[in-house]
Structure 1
């Protein structure tokens, strides 16, 4: 039987050792190091060891601590979003769209709000792609419109209308004060107000700090987290938007 309850592994199996990094708003000195160890102890690391400390600008110190925790993880109670669609090749995606949709699938992508980080959206949309996979612009049966960074929600809605978007992809990297959550809720509400339910584009968001289980709460159809590839996104779009979405 597969073990379902596990403890962290550091030096030996099940020793409960973990490594943690954080920043405190104090200059680097002995008192700051003591504060870091006190924080680690309050978080349940016992004993805690300071393995790295470095001044980060004026009045801030970055720490790495190492220590034992008593917590265990029950794998049977872990809630994640599993991939529930087949992973297709670019050739399969093009074939399915051409044969079953019989027109190009329109995709509009952007970074919304004040987020100026286009690395995520470009990795998915641009031909160069990421991790050896070409982006959605490479797929000849997809019509891709990349609006770039700092796009307002009204601009995104209008672009989706003009391009007759089947899907809208939004990347959010900036997460201070949960800006990515606020922006996503604003975006999803705007699309529901602007489009009848039957004509609303598929809403997909992605970024390293999103919880993939929050799609329903945020009002979107799918959330992709860190490490997502263009192939995964293209396969999802086909499964969600094209009737009988499998190569046949």
Structure 2
């Protein structure tokens, strides 16, 4: 199970809010490969208009070197959003404290749970993987290294997929965590698909470690499409990841339902 897709049930129709309720005003920023000029500002307004902003007002423009211009455009859109049709991936497992996660792992596995983490391909941005794995953690939460029942192997940046597979096999990894920040030309998606294919080739289906990917540009609904067990997007904390690992690898006992009196 790769996460519970759920629709918001309120059935409420909403439109953007700018100066007054329901006025449809939005702000949009983008860069055009045009030198800064009046023509560039006209091109930005034209683009925003074609995107559905009417009227579209260029409120800020700034040269980005000699050949590019950055714009902020403010204007009205007429689209509506029906929140009853919004699909999101809800957390389908309890959020545990480090003490609770450690106790569950010790009780269920009777050994430490091994996690191998890395940034794969040419991605050299380790901030994300370090925030989850390193003891200093993120957003006031300590990373997985703080959990005494979790063994963390952080391979760092620019790790090739074969290196990751080999190390996961050598460490007898229960889970593999991959962080991808570089997204140009969908590099994060291509790298993830390559990684998941390599693990499926290297392991029998019932022996493969959990494959988890994360990064600011991932869509949490794409786990099945990417061939991984879970996708974590921006805002993920170490407790989210630790709780998911426990949920999948060392599940808590099911509480008996209360009997009717």
* Superposition TM-score, scaled by structure 1 size: 0.97
Tell me the equivalent position of 2:166.
158
What's the offset of the Cα at 1:101?
A: 1.2
Q: Distance in 1 between matches of 2:214 and 2:254?
A: 24
Q: Distance in 2 between matches of 1:184 and 1:3?
A: 35
Does the C-alpha gap of structure 1 residues 13 and 108 become closer, same or farther in structure 2, counting only changes over 3 Å? same
The alignment covers a number of residue pairs equal to 247
5+ long unaligned stretches in structure 2: 1-8, 256-261
Q: Distance in 1 between matches of 2:119 and 2:162?
A: 13
- Residue 10 (1) aligns with residue 28 (2): no
Tell me the equivalent position of 1:62.
70
* Superposition TM-score, scaled by structure 2 size: 0.92
Q: Distance in 2 between matches of 1:123 and 1:245?
A: 29
Tell me the equivalent position of 1:104.
112
Tell me the equivalent position of 1:172.
180
Q: Distance in 2 between matches of 1:245 and 1:213?
A: 28
8 Å CA contact 1:239, 1:246 repeated in 2: no
Tell me the equivalent position of 1:223.
231
What's the offset of the Cα at 1:49?
A: 1.0
Q: Which runs of 4+ in 1 moved over 3 A?
A: 243-247
What's the offset of the Cα at 1:227?
A: 0.6
Question: Map of 1:168-247 to 2, 5 A cutoff?
Answer: 168-244=176-252
What's the offset of the Cα at 1:80?
A: 0.9
Question: Map of 1:62-141 to 2, 5 A cutoff?
Answer: 62-141=70-149
Question: CA-to-partner distance for each residue in 1:137-180, whole Å, 9 max, x for gaps?
Answer: 01110000000000000000001001110000000000011000
Q: 2:31 aligns with which of 16, 23, 46?
A: 23
Tell me the equivalent position of 2:3.
none
5+ long unaligned stretches in structure 1: none
Question: CA-to-partner distance for each residue in 1:89-111, whole Å, 9 max, x for gaps?
Answer: 01111111111211000000000
Q: What is the RMSD of the two structures over their aligned residues, measured on CA atoms? A: 1.3
Q: Distance in 2 between matches of 1:128 and 1:113?
A: 25
